[in-house]
Amino acid sequence: MDRTGTSDNVAELSPSTKDNLELLTSFEDGEDAQISGMQLIIERVSTFFGSPAYFIFALLFIAAWMAANGWVAHAGGHPSTYRRSSGCRDWSVRMRCC
């Protein structure tokens, strides 16, 4: 298979079809040459964030975060207590004193 995903049976194509394929290939090469570095970076980043591997990583990370919060809550703490600088225990009071 070549880079367009078609098989190597080019000999079976008509001459006009071969010409059209060559024209499209040269057009695609020209367009690829005009891509800026920033656009290439953006395309690579978006390809990564759209990949199944990233989706699975995000799901596992969120599940681990939830498990850690559940473990802390089960152990008698609350995850937000580690950010407080004062000794406020009540949520309604905490908004005023922290």
Task: Check if the beta carbon of residue 67 is closer than 8 Å to that of residue 81.
Answer: no
Q: How many CB atoms lie within 10 A of CB 63?
A: 10
| Span 1-57, pLDDT tens digits | 455 555 566 668 888 888 889 989 988 888 888 888 888 899 999 999 999 999 999
DSSP string, 18-73: HHHHHHHHHHHHHHHHT--HHHHHHHHHHHHHTSHHHHHHHHHHHHHHHHHHHHHH
CA 37 to chain centre: 19
pLDDT of residue 1: 46
pLDDT of residue 37: 85
95 has a pLDDT exceeding 80 = no
